Amino acid sequence: MNGRSPAPSDAGRSWDIMGRRRWGYALSLLIILPGIAALIVNSAAGRGALDWGIDFTGGNFFQFQLQQPFEVADVRQIVDRFATGQSVIQKSEQEVFIRTRPLPAGTKQALLDAITARFSGVTVLRSDEVGPKIGRELRNLAIVGVIVGLILQVVYIAVRFKSIRYAVAADVALLHDLLVVTGVFALTRKEVNSSF
């Protein structure tokens, strides 16, 4: 023996999870119901149920290489003069990536001119536009993907475990998680982008 007392054991302790399941149901409803209400209220107010990002609504994508040191705040100051709504600006060493809501052709050119005038040695590496139609198609494909995934999950679990009950329970659990996350995004109006 090494003289140390044995570590306490949890062998005699039990957790009555099923006995406390009503608390779990209540907690889930406490999160999901306000989220569903936020989806309805946001939609009725004309803001859209969720705050769809540029990936889903369309917009402009710019990539610049700058020869001088710069801060994101300097770039944002310029972008905010031309782009309405949320813009995403990311820095990577000497490159800057900008995503904006759709810009008219004249505004897009004015933004490019302002960036090249403010910073020396600017190289435009990319200047693309994704239309709202493509964004809508991407959003619809994402929704279809979730539905197809749920159906395939039911089929696989039902065949693999020979129980439709397990399959339905797995889909209900996944839908629960989806409703929780979607509800939180609706309540906080956090932007929904492709990483969602």
The answer to whether residue 3 sits within a structural domain is: no
Which of residues 85, 112, 130 is at a domain's end?
130
The answer to whether residue 140 sits within a structural domain is: yes
Encode pLDDT of 8-44 as tens digits. 555 567 878 888 889 989 999 999 999 999 999 998 9
Q: Across-strand partners of 89? A: 98
In this prediction, residues 43-67 reach a mean pLDDT of 84
Give the pLDDT of residue 100: 85
pTM for this predicted structure? 0.65
In this prediction, residues 128-153 reach a mean pLDDT of 85
Same domain for 47 and 138, yes or no, is yes
What range defines the domain where residue 111 resides?
59-130
Q: How many domains is the chain built from? A: 2
Dihedral class, residue 191 (left if φ above 0, else alpha if ψ from -120 to 50, else beta): beta
The answer to whether residue 103 sits within a structural domain is: yes
Which of residues 103, 130, 157 is at a domain's end?
130
What CATH number does the domain containing 66 carry? 3.30.70.3400
